[in-house]
């Protein structure tokens, strides 16, 4: 039995309890545990998750076997589903329906339905209401069309509980309960505490549903997932199946539901500066992005690793995380960033970045007799701007050298073999000197050589 969607479309825009029979007890479903962020494509939550960790997404795909039961529910079946112009008036995250024929021994039937569905809460209750009218609710419905004894009590047992009703004077039961977000603007998390649905029921193991789905709505099938182990629909009461037949039951359900597949991500990693000098601060920065056509900003954590060793774990903020370390030993390091994944996105690992850590420059040898000494008090770089400051001692003649040269790289013996960056004057009063200017050499170490013969080098701090 393929369920009739028209049966579900009615009364989706208001909180509805239609009761032509007395209610003895409520449904006892366990509700849900988490909800995804709204999908930018249509404004509905990307998924809902039950207590077993099963995530179901929007069933809005139209392969030939129609596993979402969408045929005839949107204007142009030959075109992609697009919100709101080519979009169904309702769709399902999960739906389970069952039918018992022969009520009262005649043509009466009992229809049971559970659903977690998206619909519209605007003026028309259709996709024409557009953005801002999206609603989602959990529905329980029981309808018995005829054949019951008026005024008699009938008990329904189902996957989500047991409930009793008194038949109306027409020998019917007509009951609908909707819980959750029933009016816009919508609090989609209000579904989590519903008692109509949860955990999700799905096909049992007797056969497999289409890949990526929990069932096929066109095929009646046994189910599993009831929190009470009552994976059936039973109606009991006086002559429910005709004279002397007081119990009717089926274990076959038509199931709709698409398993949410967490979109893939890519993780990139940078290290700055690279190369570095031992003891120098190195900043590792990871950026996590969804793989198109997925959208959104991944959250969760990133673990920074040096080979197999964990350096640190950091929380993503706007899709990025960073970590600063000065503890990398001399040599080459294979650094990676591992994104842990989240309920919305799949995990990923960056390509390895080779971080080269150079040894600290050897200390300069003692100055030659009569030479001065150089002390570098500051060496910093921000982009192309370099700032180097220091002081010279007096020469053996008792004065200060006239100038110093600033070179790229470290000292080798009593020389500065690297490229010359600048020459700057030394104060004749106190031996101080300072350079501030631009260079495209991007030095990580500078070497300063005094005109008086002194040499010193120092690692550059990157701002």
Model pLDDT for residues 296-326, shown as the tens digit of each residue: 899 999 999 999 999 999 999 999 999 999 9
Q: Look up the CATH number of domain 265-358.
A: 2.60.40.10
**Interval 105-125: pLDDT, tens:** 999 999 999 999 999 999 999
Per the omega criterion (within 30 degrees of 0), is the bond before 160 cis? no
Q: Is the peptide bond before 207 cis (omega within 30 degrees of 0)?
A: no
d(CA 324, CA 366): 35
Structural tokens at position 324: 């600063």
pLDDT at residue 160, rounded to an integer: 96
Reading the block at residue 396, the tokens are 């053996």
Report helix, strand or coil for 272: strand
105 close to 149: Cβ distance less than 8 angstroms: no
DSSP code for 415: B
H or E segment and range at residue 352? none
Q: Look at residue 127 and give its three-state secondary structure.
A: helix
pLDDT at position 25: 52
How high is the pLDDT of residue 366?
60
Sign of CA dihedral 256, 259, 260, 264: negative
Is residue 139 classed as helix, strand or coil in its secondary structure? strand
Q: How far apart are alpha carbons 49 and 124 in whole angstroms? A: 30
The pLDDT value given to residue 371 = 84
pLDDT at 455: 95
Cβ distance 73 to 89 under 8 Å? yes
Whether residue 206 contacts residue 222, with contact meaning beta carbons closer than 8 Å, is answered with yes
- Tell me which DSSP letter residue 8 carries: H
Distance of CA 230 to the CA centre of its chain: 34
pLDDT at 86: 97
**CA dist 248 → 107, 241, 251 (Å):** 14, 6, 11
Q: Same topology for domains 265-358 and 374-462, yes or no?
A: yes
CB 69 within 8 A of CB 55: no
**Residues 6+ positions from 141 with CB-CB distance below 8 Å:** 7, 8, 111, 112, 113, 114, 175, 176, 177
Residue 385: Cβ within 10 Å count: 12
State the pLDDT at residue 401. 93
> What DSSP string describes 228-258?
TS--SEEEESTTBTBTT--EEEE--BEEEEE
What pLDDT sits at residue 365? Answer: 61
Show me where the domains of the chain are located: 6-259, 265-358, 374-462
Beta strands per DSSP E along 218-330: 223-224, 233-236, 247-250, 254-259, 265-272, 276-277, 282-290, 301-306, 309-315, 320-325
Residues of the chain with pLDDT under 50: 1-24
Q: Identify the CATH number of the domain defined by range 374-462.
A: 2.60.40
């Amino acid at each position: 039995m393929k369920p009739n969607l028209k049966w579900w479309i009615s009364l989706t825009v208001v909180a509805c309890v239609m009761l032509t029979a007395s209610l003895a007890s409520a449904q006892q479903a366990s509700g849900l545990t988490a909800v995804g962020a709204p999908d930018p494509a249509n404004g509905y939550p990307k998924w809902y998750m039950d207590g077993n960790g099963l995530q179901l997404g929007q069933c809005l795909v139209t392969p030939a076997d129609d596993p979402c039961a969408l045929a005839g529910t949107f204007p142009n079946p030959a075109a992609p589903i697009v919100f709101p112009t080519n979009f169904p008036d309702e769709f399902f995250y999960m739906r389970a329906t069952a039918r018992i024929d022969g009520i009262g021994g005649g043509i009466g039937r009992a229809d049971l339905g559970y659903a977690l569905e998206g619909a519209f809460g605007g003026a028309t209750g259709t996709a024409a209401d557009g953005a801002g009218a999206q609603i989602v609710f959990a529905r329980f419905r029981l309808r018995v069309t005829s054949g019951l004894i008026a005024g008699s009590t009938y008990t329904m047992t189902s996957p989500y509980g047991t409930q009793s009703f008194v038949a109306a004077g027409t020998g019917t039961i007509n009951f609908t309960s909707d819980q959750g977000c029933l009016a816009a603007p919508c609090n989609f998390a209000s579904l989590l505490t519903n008692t109509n649905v949860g955990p999700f029921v799905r096909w049992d193991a007797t056969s497999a549903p289409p890949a990526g789905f929990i069932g096929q709505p066109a095929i009646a099938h046994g189910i599993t997932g009831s929190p009470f182990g009552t994976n059936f629909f039973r109606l009991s009461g006086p002559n429910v199946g005709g004279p002397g037949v007081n119990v009717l039951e089926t274990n076959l359900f038509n199931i709709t539901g698409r398993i949410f597949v967490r979109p893939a991500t890519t993780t990139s990693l940078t290290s700055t500066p690279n190369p570095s000098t031992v003891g120098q601060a190195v900043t590792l920065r990871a950026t996590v992005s969804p793989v198109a056509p997925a959208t959104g900003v991944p959250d969760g954590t990133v673990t920074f690793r040096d080979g197999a060793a964990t350096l640190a774990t950091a929380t993503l903020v706007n899709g990025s995380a960073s970590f600063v370390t000065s503890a990398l030993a001399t040599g080459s390091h294979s650094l990676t960033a591992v994104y842990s994944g989240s309920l919305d996105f799949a995990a990923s690992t960056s390509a390895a970045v080779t971080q080269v850590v150079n040894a600290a420059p050897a200390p300069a040898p003692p100055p030659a007799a009569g030479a001065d000494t150089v002390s570098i008090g500051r060496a910093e770089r921000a982009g192309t701007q370099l700032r180097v400051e220091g002081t010279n001692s007096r020469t053996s003649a008792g004065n200060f050298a006239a100038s110093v040269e600033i070179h790229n790289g470290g000292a080798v013996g009593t020389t500065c073999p690297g490229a010359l960056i600048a020459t700057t004057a030394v104060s004749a009063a106190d031996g101080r000197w300072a350079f501030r200017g631009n260079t495209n050499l991007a030095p990580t170490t500078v070497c300063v050589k005094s005109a008086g013969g002194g040499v010193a080098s120092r690692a550059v701090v990157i701002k």
